[in-house]
Chains A and B, each alone.
Chain A
Amino acid sequence: MAMPASEIEALIKAALPDAQITIEDLAGDNDHFAATIISEAFRGMSRVRQHQLVYAALKGNMGGALHALALQTSAPE
């Protein structure tokens, strides 16, 4: 039940090519991450929609292989 940060980043980058992504492994177990994602795609979107976009990019891994991913999403300033 774990997923390396590199794989998370690759999945998100595939869906959001312009995204600036920083991922932190909170527990050192490849299972609890915090990610900050900045992408033009988020502009004008509610937080829920922004996070749903990221979960869609993770192709069903969220809640399965990936137990916890704290998300901070925003459009570029």
Chain B
Amino acid sequence: MDNPVFAQIQAKIDASPVVLFMKGNPMFPQCGFSARVVQILKHSGVNFASVNVLEDPEIRDGIKAFSDWPTIPQLYVKGEFVGGCDIVTEMFQSGELQTLLAEKGVSQDAAA
């Protein structure tokens, strides 16, 4: 972990069970893909922390090297990188996301 931003990113990932690195924030997503993942998480009744990468260019680039994933949004559950918008959408539609959340002990009954 030579990249100083990695430590900053790891701290944010460890701070909450579910962390979404996105463009904008859940109230005002600035990108359709980010907005879709926010909707999926809300619909799944999951509380999540969000990191607005638009507010910090270092994190915006650092996260892509950190996870070896070139795009935003990026979803992390219990420190594990789950995927971007496509994968989260696919997992939600197939029920895999709900299974993963249950396996990781993440409650799914937050008010939508």
Complex Cα spacing A68 to B69, Å: 13
Q: Does B105 contact A (CB under 8 A)?
A: no
| Residues 45-77 of A at the B interface (beta carbon under 8 Å) | 47-48, 51-52, 55, 60, 62-64, 68, 70-72
Q: Does B82 contact A (CB under 8 A)?
A: yes
Q: Assess the B64–A63 pair: CB atoms within 8 A.
A: yes
Interface size class of B (residues with CB under 8 A): 10 to 19
Chain A residues touching B, majority SS = mixed
Binding site for B on A (CB under 8 A): 47-48, 51-52, 55, 60, 62-64, 68, 70-72
In the complex, besides A55-B69, A64-B70, 4 extra interface pairs with C-beta distance below 8 angstroms are A48-B81, A51-B83, A68-B33, A72-B86
A sample of 14 inter-chain contacts (CB < 8 A) reads: A47-B83, A48-B69, A48-B81, A48-B87, A51-B69, A51-B84, A51-B86, A51-B87, A62-B70, A63-B64, A63-B70, A64-B70, A68-B71, A71-B86
